[in-house]
Amino acid sequence: MKRGSIEEMGEGSAKKARIEEVEVPVPELGDDLVFEVLKRADATTLAAAACVSRRWRAVTEDERIWEAVCTRQWANFGCGNQQLRSVVLALGGFRQLHSLYLLPLQKTQQHPAMPSSSAAAARRAWMAPARFGKDEGKTRLMRMPLHCDIDQWVTIFNGHDTSTFGVSSPKK
């Protein structure tokens, strides 16, 4: 067979594939096409896709993909898309937003018992109640940079006084 196992194929096609074994293997999808595919994938699949290869990894680092995931999940957030976009990007981006906030919310809804790793425990400590009121959403977005790596923190707030965000510091 030219490629790995394909569940959909019946016995007939498997036989045919053996005859065609000398054929040139299918070329890898270009970055643009991997992008188009992943833009239509859910977050869990994206996380797996990020571990596939360096090229796939690079594609999953595109914020536009995570934006698509986030906006699909909360289609009606109550403020303009552009406005929301600028806020989220300034505060760490859509991937952070999803992994730190949207995913834990989803997980509590599905499985009340949270995973026990320390990272998850830290996230749980920061999890806001599952309500999506407009102002509450904003508050949570503002807390976001507190979870960034120190480098990101410095980049994002370079020249800004963090107290202008008016949120209390996280208790470790």
Partner 1 sequence: MVGVKKKMVTLVSSDGVEFVVEKRVAEQSLFIKNALNEGGVEEKVMIPIPKVTSDTLSSVLEYCEKHASATEFQENEIEEWDKEYIEKADLDLLYYLLQASYSMSIMGLMELGAKKVASLIRGKSPQEIRELFNIKNDFTPEQEEEIRREMQWNYE
- Segment contacting partner 1 (CB under 8 A): 29-37, 80-88, 137-145, 150-158? 29-37
What would the DSSP string read from start to end of 107-124?
A: HHHH-SSPP-SHHHHHHH
- Segment contacting partner 1 (CB under 8 A): 51-59, 69-77, 80-88, 134-142? 51-59
51 forms part of the interface with partner 1 (CB under 8 A): yes
Q: How far apart are CA 88 and CA 130, in angstroms?
A: 19
Determine which residue in the list 52, 79, 121, 125 makes contact with partner 1, applying CB under 8 A: 52
> Which 98-157 positions form the footprint of partner 1 (CB under 8 A)?
99, 103, 115, 117, 119-120
Positive or negative torsion for Cα 69, 75, 79, 82: positive
Cβ(148)–Cβ(96) below 8 Å: yes
Tokens matching residue 29: 């999808």
Which residue bears the tokens 């790793």?
117
64 forms part of the interface with partner 1 (CB under 8 A): no
Cβ(146)–Cβ(122) below 8 Å: no
72 forms part of the interface with partner 1 (CB under 8 A): no
What is the contact surface with partner 1 in residues (CB under 8 A)? 2-6, 8-9, 13, 25-30, 32-33, 36-42, 44-45, 47-54, 56-57, 99, 103, 115, 117, 119-120
